[in-house]
């Protein structure tokens, strides 16, 4: 009887990781490529960009900014200049840029 219980325990422990790997992992749909994209509205979510990374990403899109703040929705926002025009920009966790 103990032998059967031992075998059942070993099988259950060995099968656990296999079932865990079979689950559908949705993951984080964050930045998929390095090309900045502009959108009409920023997506709320936990933003893993540092301020320096956010400024760099905005610079790649042609914006000049020196400081940003992360708002309650996780969007980096601040004042920026592009083409001689001062605008308010936002950078969401996906790397999308919004301009107001």
Task: Give the list of residues 6+ apart from residue 78 with CB closer than 8 angstroms, or none.
Answer: 65, 67, 68, 69, 88, 89
pLDDT band at 80 (very low <50, low <70, confident <90, very high): very high
Q: Looking at residues 22-50, what average pLDDT do you find? A: 63
Tell me the whole-structure pTM to 2 decimals: 0.60
Average pLDDT for 65-94: 92
Greater confidence, 90 or 4?
90
C-alpha atoms less than 13 angstroms from C-alpha of 3 in its C-beta half-sphere: 0
**Is the per-residue pLDDT at 97 higher than 70?**
yes
Confirm whether 5 is domain-assigned. no
Tell me if 91 is assigned to some domain: yes
Residue 85 lies in domain: 30-99
Residue 2 forms part of a structural domain: no
């Amino acid at each position: 009887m103990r032998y059967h219980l031992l075998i059942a325990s070993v099988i259950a422990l060995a099968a656990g990781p296999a079932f865990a790997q079979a689950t559908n992992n949705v993951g984080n749909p964050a930045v998929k490529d390095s090309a900045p994209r502009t959108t009409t509205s920023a997506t709320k979510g936990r933003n893993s960009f540092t301020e320096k990374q956010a400024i760099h990403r905005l610079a790649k899109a042609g914006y000049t900014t020196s400081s940003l703040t992360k708002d309650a929705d996780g969007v980096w926002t601040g004042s920026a200049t592009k083409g001689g025009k001062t605008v308010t920009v936002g950078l969401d966790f996906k790397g999308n840029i919004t301009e107001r």
